[in-house]
A and B are shown apart, each in its own frame.
Chain A
Amino acid sequence: MTNNNYPDIIFIGQPNCGKSTLFNAIAGLKAETSNFPGTTVKHTHSRVNVQGYILNIIDLPGLYSLVPGDEAEKVALSHLFYEKPDLIINVVDASSLARNLELTLELIEMGLPMIVALNMMDLAEKKGLRIDIQRLEKELGVPVIPTVATHGRGLKELLEKAIFILKNGLLVKPLGWSKDVEDGVYRLEKILPSNFPVVANRRFTAIKMIEMGSHYFQQLLSEIYLPLKQVLDEVKNQLESSHDAPAYEVVAAERHHLAMKIFEKSTRIVRPAKRPFLHRLDDLLMHPYLGYLILGLVFLGFFFIVFSIGSPLEELVLGPFEQLRSFLFTNFGQGMAVSIIDGLLQGIGGGLGIVLPYFIPLLFLMGLLEDVGYLARVGFLMDVFMHRIGLHGKSISPFILAFGCNVPAIVSTRILESRRDKIITTLLIPFIPCSARTTIILALVAFYLGPWWALGFYLFHLLLVALIGRVLSFFFKEPSPGLILEIPELKIPSLKNIGKKTVFQLRSFLNFAWPILIVGSVVLALLQSLGIDRILNYGFSPLVVKGLGLPQELGVTLIFGFLRKELSMIMMIQALGTNYHQLMSVITPAQIVIFTLFVSLFIPCLSTVAMIWKELGRKIAFLSVALNLGVAVIFSFLAKSFFNLIGMI
């Protein structure tokens, strides 16, 4: 995996078992975590020093089994199979032990040294599961360490055990199945040619040959190893006729029964007499009617909380910056140096006054909703609408991620199996208002025109997503497979967790967006003092003035908007040569709405375009840009005509 001699430790487990949380607890904040299945679609590497030992630790996307379904799973498997790790840490959700054990059994079949980290022990205990660790260890034949990653419990023991095994090795033996299945596997294993590309070990390879249904693989096999193919077919037919099920299911069922047996032997269930409070709350949250009412209220609450925290702060921060600027102008005149310092002040002030007051509470509340597990409930409630607009049930996860940031949402479309679904979902994602755009909607539309305007704007945005989805799925006709979404348990939020996550996401603004904003503001100031902005504005004027009915000066901000959308919005004040108190004297409310609408839609931000290009190729990236541009022009123009009609312009 890496070119040095440090041992590689792979973290592997089913989705939402807390792998990334455990990984972060060991490596520091490196991987994105959430209480929402399928957040990790790429692997994360980190090097840690444990008691003087340097270890390479790798966090892989969640896997249900070692036979890959989607692309994210394939990534995980290629790591596991071809770059033999020195140790596997199988992270298991103790509260869902029976199902998680199926993957554990499959990993044991690989025969590599491994440890089971029995995570979420607190949740398991709350659910009344009493797990006998020693018994489980004995049944599985590998060490089991109980952990609670969110509180850092059990990490020390886990790492100590890891180092112990790295030093002393561990023999992992597969657990036996029913006789006829074992016989079939053995028969195949025995005749594997010595030069056959074996994965992990011969038995494991034989099992996987039975489980793999791929037509390509079968074809290849019959061309290269015809006798082997004949035996494989015989074994499969035998299993199929005696079990009355496809061969791969026979094998999976063996694992399932073994997992259930081990679960029953090692666990006692003490069910609480009353349905726990969180379950009863869940009944309300997912209620067929009340659920939607609650969703609406949560959305409204979210909006107004962020606004009522942000707007007084915005006022508080921008005031002193304005004073500083007017002090600058009255004392030092209008020279180029002054312009540059003024640009600097605007850039710093914009980040501090316009973005952060809204962005921080917004990230925090989003983290809260996700940490309690509400996002998966939103997925459940929204699925019906997703189908109305012709979309795949699985697309709900990328969509929900997109409200945070479009870029990881596009990466996460890897969980979709068909290219058609990937393309439609990817084309729609840039229309979803991400946290940065929501911030701008609040800081400009809500701040200047009132929160109801902002809310209406936001809802219009969502309606637009539905409309475009409907149109797109009309062009890409194909039945879409349905939803299967794991609904994680509701849990009491951990402030520490949410705080960490907020900081994690804030970093990208502080390290990337804010510096660009500051540089951008200085560049704009420079352009203005050299008079170059007028040339650019003139070039844009057919669109900006004729098409959208906006002041000509706003043209130049569109260039910056391609880097990050919020730049255009923040730099609007600077471009108009005014300050935030007097903004409304040079621009009308309708113009603010039209401009915000246009900027919010006109092009996916640079990082999003780059990610689309990387994931789906140049054509789709250009298609996405063209689609956004088209939609932005059409709807901004419609908005202008509407405002004209009601006499607001």
Chain B
Amino acid sequence: MDYHRYIPLVSAPPEKKLKIIEIQGGHRLRKRLFDMGFHKGDEIILDMRGVLRGPILVRRVSSDTSVAIGRGIAQKILVEIIGDEQ
């Protein structure tokens, strides 16, 4: 895999369309994220970043719904920038 094109979600730029490349984590975390509708290949947008290492707010493009994700977890989600929001 060509890893250097990919960045952890936590350091992705806001308001860009991102594609989930990989979720690096144990069974439990992967299942939780899977259940909440985060899968490999899904498109998401980072909407907001909390202060003081607070959580980030991520919107799923397909359903237009939002989820707050802690920084530690966002560190483990690898994404690729695929374009502007529109």
Contacts and interface: CB of A to CB of B under 8 A. Distances in A.
A351 to B, nearest CB: 40
A260 B62 contact: yes
B70 A482 contact: yes
A99 B65 contact: yes
A69 B31 CA distance: 8
A99 B63 contact: yes
Interface size on A, as a range, is 35 or more
Contact of A483 (B34, B47, B55): B55
B57 A484 contact: no
A515 B39 CA distance: 53
Contact of B65 (A286, A381, A489): A489
A379 B31 contact: no
A358 to B, nearest CB: 32
Q: Name B's interface SS.
A: mixed
B36 interface: yes
Contacts of B37: 96, 98-99, 102
B63 A246 contact: no
Contacts, number: 116
A400 to B, nearest CB: 13
Given A246-B27, A283-B48, A288-B50, A487 B34 contact: no
B35 A65 contact: yes
B57 A286 contact: yes
Most chain B beta carbons < 10 A, residue from A260, A380, A484, A489? A484
B29 A481 contact: yes
A256 B71 CA distance: 25
A384 interface: yes
B53 interface: yes
Contacts of B33: 484
B73 A482 contact: yes
Interface stretch (A139-147, A247-255, A320-328): A247-255
Interface string A274-289: 0000000001001111
Contacts of B34: 65, 249, 252, 256
Contacts of A97: 63
Given A97-B63, A380-B57, A384-B55, A64 B27 contact: no
B73 A248 contact: no
A484 B63 contact: no
Given A253-B40, A286-B48, A383 B55 contact: yes
A486 B36 contact: yes
A288 B53 contact: no
17 contacts: A69-B28, A69-B31, A95-B64, A99-B62, A248-B27, A249-B30, A249-B34, A252-B34, A260-B62, A286-B57, A379-B68, A380-B68, A384-B54, A481-B72, A482-B69, A482-B71, A483-B68
Interface of A: 64-65, 67, 69, 95-99, 102, 127, 213, 245-246, 248-249, 252-253, 256, 260, 263, 283, 286-289, 292, 376, 379-381, 383-384, 387, 393, 417, 481-487, 489
Interface of B: 27-37, 39-40, 47-55, 57, 60, 62-73
